[in-house]
Amino acid sequence: MTVKVRFAPSPTGRLHVGNIRTGLINWLFARGEGGQFVLRIDDTDRERSTREYEQGIETDLTWLGMTWDEKHSQSARFPLYRDAMERLKSHGRLYPAYETQDELDRRRKVQLSRGQPPVYDRAALKLTDAERAALEAEGRRPHWRFRLEGKRVKWEDLARGHCEVDTASMSDPVLIREDGAFLYTLPSVVDDIDMAITHVVRGEDHVTNTGAQIEIFEALGARAPQFAHTTLLVGADGEGLSKRLGSLSIMDLREQGYEPLAIVSHLARIGTSDPLEPGDNIAGLAADFAFGKMARHPGRYDFDDLARINAAVLHAMPYETAQPRLANIGADLGEAFWLSVRSNVALFSGVGVWAHVVSGSVEPLIAEEDRPVVEAAAGLLPETLDGDSWSVWTSLVKAATGAKGRGLFMPLRRALTGLDHGPEMAVMLPLIGREKAVRRLAGETA
């Protein structure tokens, strides 16, 4: 069996780390199994869905490296949903109900006050044709509920193991609203059948829903796919991410300068037995993926971990990969420059600081107590600067001044770069060049 999964985001907002993790787990599983990944746009809510958000979804997935094999829009598939609706009606599994939300809320309160579970009492099934006609004459329009069989639905979950849901303890789910709009459940099941989806991978908050959905698959004469319900993400403090999602969209992370490999590595390995470190590439993450590695406790989304992984991605990035981006920001000063500075950047944009140190105008930092060392160093600077010059030069300055260790190296670094930290000066000195070095050692901005 060829694995085929789907990711079904709604184009009503930006993708955030919570839903992109679900998509990523689907992608990793499919690619690791040599299967197919379907992008299914859940745009049945015509009022809130926009083409702009749909394009944003495609942009985010492409940027992360999550290519898809098929793309479908649910808004183009309404005839299939209407056909399924009529089939369920004809089989007596879909029935009209006329209660308003206020009426349902009052019933639930009464049930709870009596110590009863707040389950829909199927009062609509007891209505006569005349009573239905009278309600519709009042202007009421029905919503449509799926009649559950009230049985124990069982499945072997790839993430949770053996699962059972008793649909007798559930309300018959509403599949179609009063205005005729399809809610998520029926289109999802119909599409899973039509697209031959083999595995549904989603968050554990859908476990209970799965019992009802398996019954819908069966009512439509189809075999349910396999399921995997993974744990959800929480913040570093253990609280839910819902209040933070505004700052955790993929677009925001991209604009903040995080690397796509860092984002997918972080999300792929949160809550697993794998170490929180970057993969070589997204394909490698897929090869390493296994549901058996996933813990049963929620994964903690910690920005410190993301920042650490992001830095590690940059520190290992070869010049061939970095070169186009360096050129794009006017910081392509050659391979030696990149290899020297990459271990000192946490975000790619940080390379601009070091490009400025090499090719820009820097105001040297020379403390009064450091002047003897700097002045002596200026007179001993080699005529030609290469990879050995720093070692030769500092040895000469040490012999002439007696300065050593931090008292020797820090005054020279500050004078040459205007900073008290940075890449190895053995590489930076030749890059800065003798002319700039002489002027900066003299205290000139150069």
Per-residue model confidence (pLDDT) at position 170: 95
Per-residue model confidence (pLDDT) at position 246: 56
Residues 248, 309: one domain? yes
Residues 87, 149: one domain? yes
Q: Is residue 276 part of a domain?
A: yes
Is the pLDDT assigned to residue 185 strictly greater than 70? yes
147 and 95 Cβ atoms separated by less than 8 Å: yes
DSSP string covering 240-261, please? Answer: BSGGGGGG-BHHHHHHHT--HH
84 and 190 Cβ atoms separated by less than 8 Å: yes
Q: How far is CA 207 from the centre of its chain?
A: 22
Residue with tokens 């997204």: 282
Residues 331, 245: one domain? no
159 and 221 Cβ atoms separated by less than 8 Å: no
Residues 67, 112: one domain? no
Q: Is residue 150 part of a domain?
A: yes
Q: Name the domain boundary from 143, 176, 209.
A: 176
Residues 61, 135: one domain? no
Indicate which CATH number applies to the domain containing 262.
3.40.50.620
Structure token pair of residue 4: 């085929």
Q: Is residue 106 part of a domain?
A: yes
Residues 118, 141: one domain? yes
Average pLDDT of the residues in 352-365: 96
Indicate which CATH number applies to the domain containing 422.
1.10.10.350
Residues 414, 428: one domain? yes
Is the pLDDT assigned to residue 244 strictly greater than 60? no
Per-residue model confidence (pLDDT) at position 64: 98
Residues 147, 93: one domain? yes
Q: Name the domain boundary from 136, 160, 176.
A: 176
Residues in the chain, overall count = 446
Residues 253, 333: one domain? no
Per-residue model confidence (pLDDT) at position 241: 74
Average pLDDT of the residues in 319-347: 97
Average pLDDT of the residues in 313-329: 97
Average pLDDT of the residues in 405-431: 96
Which residues span the domain enclosing 343?
319-359
Residues 312, 323: one domain? no
State how far the Cα of 317 lies from the Cα of 160, in Å rounded to an integer.
37
What confidence tier does 46 reach under pLDDT thresholds 50, 70, 90? confident
State how far the Cα of 282 lies from the Cα of 161, in Å rounded to an integer.
27
296-300, 303-307, 362-366, range with the lowest pLDDT:
296-300
Q: Is residue 166 part of a domain?
A: yes
Per-residue model confidence (pLDDT) at position 34: 97
Domain count, the chain: 4
13-17, 238-242, 243-247, 425-429, range with the lowest pLDDT:
243-247
Q: Is residue 395 part of a domain?
A: yes
Q: Is residue 213 part of a domain?
A: no
Q: Is residue 223 part of a domain?
A: no
Average pLDDT of the residues in 25-41: 98
The burial class, CB within 10 Å (0-12 / 13-18 / 19+), for 396 is: middle
Is the pLDDT assigned to residue 148 strictly greater than 70? yes
Residues 85, 169: one domain? yes
Per-residue model confidence (pLDDT) at position 240: 76
Q: Is residue 211 part of a domain?
A: no
Is the pLDDT assigned to residue 221 strictly greater than 70? yes
Indicate which CATH number applies to the domain containing 169.
3.90.800.10
State how far the Cα of 307 lies from the Cα of 391, in Å rounded to an integer.
34
Taking all residues of the chain, what is their mean pLDDT, rounded to a whole number?
95
State how far the Cα of 256 lies from the Cα of 10, in Å rounded to an integer.
24
Residues 282, 332: one domain? no
Average pLDDT of the residues in 305-334: 97
> Within a 10 A sphere around the Cβ of 240, how many other Cβ atoms?
14
State how far the Cα of 328 lies from the Cα of 334, in Å rounded to an integer.
13
Average pLDDT of the residues in 154-180: 96
